[in-house]
């Protein structure tokens, strides 16, 4: 995409119940959606820059999506996000000093109402494939 000014990534996920998912993501991201319809919602995030959409589908199951993530600059940032999520009642799971995707990382996980897993993470040491094993997180 050389020569093209990219504004932000776009992720659209299928959910069973848009209103339930809007509530979850409103709390997770800390912002209101910019558009909500009966079967659709859109969040236009500045930090992280992301165009994030929810599409209601009746037959949503835990699908082929592995997980979604937001990379931050430090473990302190990971912990700040975790504390905000805990304060608003979103259950979290920590993985500190975890070797994942061939890199040493600190991360925190949440799961939305449809089973989509999100991580906020920092790469502490980007070890190469010869130095680490792949783990469940990047499978």
The CATH number assigned to the domain holding 104 equals 3.10.180.10
How far is 50 from 44, CA to CA, in rounded Å? 6
**When comparing pLDDT for 66 and 110, which is higher?**
110
- Mean pLDDT computed over 121-136: 64
How far is 78 from 106, CA to CA, in rounded Å? 7
pLDDT score for 45: 95
Q: Which residues form the domain of 83?
A: 66-139
Query: In this structure, are 12 and 49 located in the same domain?
Result: yes
Reported confidence tier of residue 35, pLDDT bands at 50, 70, 90: very high
Query: In this structure, are 53 and 71 located in the same domain?
Result: no
Name the token pair of 49: 């820059």
Q: Which pTM value belongs to this model? A: 0.74
22 neighbors 15 (Cβ within 8 angstroms) = no
Assess whether pLDDT exceeds 70 at residue 50.
yes
Query: In this structure, are 86 and 102 located in the same domain?
Result: yes
Reported confidence tier of residue 6, pLDDT bands at 50, 70, 90: low
Query: In this structure, are 81 and 124 located in the same domain?
Result: yes
Reported confidence tier of residue 134, pLDDT bands at 50, 70, 90: very low
Query: In this structure, are 49 and 115 located in the same domain?
Result: no
pLDDT score for 139: 43
3-state helix, strand, coil in the chain (%, to 5): 20, 35, 40
Query: In this structure, are 128 and 88 located in the same domain?
Result: yes
Rounded (5°) CA angle 47-87-110: 60
What is the number of structural domains in the chain? 2
């Amino acid at each position: 995409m050389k020569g093209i000014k990219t504004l932000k990534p776009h992720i659209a996920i299928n959910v069973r119940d848009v209103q339930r998912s809007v509530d979850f993501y409103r709390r997770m991201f800390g912002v209101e959606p910019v558009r909500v319809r009966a079967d659709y919602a859109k969040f236009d995030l500045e930090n992280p820059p992301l165009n994030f959409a929810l599409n209601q589908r009746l037959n949503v199951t835990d699908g082929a999506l592995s997980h979604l993530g937001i990379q931050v600059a430090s473990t302190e940032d990971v912990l700040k996000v975790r504390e905000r999520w805990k304060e608003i009642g979103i259950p979290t799971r920590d993985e500190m000093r975890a070797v994942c995707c061939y890199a040493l990382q600190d991360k925190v996980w949440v799961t939305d109402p449809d089973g989509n897993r999100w991580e906020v993470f920092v790469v502490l040491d980007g070890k190469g494939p010869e130095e680490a094993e792949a783990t469940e997180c990047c499978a």
